[in-house]
Structure 1
């Protein structure tokens, strides 16, 4: 399969955390995963909205 970049974190999330986090979501087949520049990766989700929520929660975490 292939991996493609689909979108950024929704605008309701903080613009950027001072620690250099830049989460995005990627799709692989029918699954969507949130990933961050810091190396964090969320679980694969069938729901794009839930993957975006995972990314927003990662930004909000201390």
Structure 2
């Protein structure tokens, strides 16, 4: 049986993901923009404003 050394096997590298991936989350009647980096926007009653907060964060953080 062939014994494969770890130096011969290339490490598995996950595909690069953007650091800032902002989405919206609903909490009751409020919508909040949140990001993978830990950022969160203010609670909004308007989903459109929360999506705008998320988009603004993505562009300003890049």
Where do 5+ consecutive residues of structure 1 fail to align? 1-17
- Would you say how many aligned residue pairs link Structure 1 and Structure 2? 45
**Structure whose residues are more often helix by fraction:** 2
Where do 5+ consecutive residues of structure 2 fail to align? 1-16
RMSD over equivalenced CA pairs, Å: 1.4
Tell me which of the two structures has the higher relative contact order, counting C-alpha pairs closer than 8 angstroms and 6 or more residues apart: 1
Structure 1 or 2, whichever has the larger Rg, is 2
Normalised by the size of structure 2, how large is the TM-score? 0.67
Normalised by the size of structure 1, how large is the TM-score? 0.67
**Structure whose residues are more often strand by fraction:** 1
